[in-house]
């Protein structure tokens, strides 16, 4: 797709995603690197914010839009519903073959 300056950029979503990422990473680094200084790591994470927002904004202007979890769940639910409705329809009986006996009944056991 081509650049379109009229396409909206989901700034709130981008900021929320980045904030969640930074929070998780700060907690993870705090647990993993207890004996080291966290200032350089946190500084690097804070610098990543404008870069993430810039890249996300450019991608949105080119037309890229990721699906949200809500959309993904709705599609999965619709696919499951479609699969259930297909499975609930009666299947046609398979055609008789030599191996299945051709639809003939087996002879009964004789009593002694």
Domain that holds residue 23: 1-64
pLDDT of residue 88 exceeding 70, the answer is: no
In a domain, 87, yes or no: no
Span 36-84, pLDDT tens digits: 888 999 999 999 999 999 999 999 999 998 888 899 999 999 998 887 7
Q: Which residues contact 13 (CB under 8 A, 6 or more apart)?
A: 68
Query: Residue 109 domain-assigned?
Result: no
Residue 84 counted as domain residue: no
State if pTM tops 0.85.
no
Tally of domains within the chain:
1
pLDDT reading at 107 higher than 70: no
Instruction: Using pLDDT thresholds of 50, 70 and 90, give the confidence band for residue 89.
Output: low
């Amino acid at each position: 797709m081509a650049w379109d300056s009229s396409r909206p950029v989901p700034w709130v979503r981008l900021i929320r995603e980045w904030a969640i990422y930074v929070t998780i990473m700060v907690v993870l680094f705090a647990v993993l690197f207890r004996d080291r200084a966290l200032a350089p790591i946190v500084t690097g994470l804070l610098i990543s914010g404008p870069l993430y927002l810039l890249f996300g904004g450019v991608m949105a202007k080119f037309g890229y839009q990721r699906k949200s979890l809500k959309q993904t769940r709705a599609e999965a639910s619709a696919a499951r519903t479609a699969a259930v409705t297909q499975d609930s329809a009666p299947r046609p009986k398979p055609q008789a073959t030599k191996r299945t006996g051709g639809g003939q009944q087996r002879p009964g056991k004789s009593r002694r």
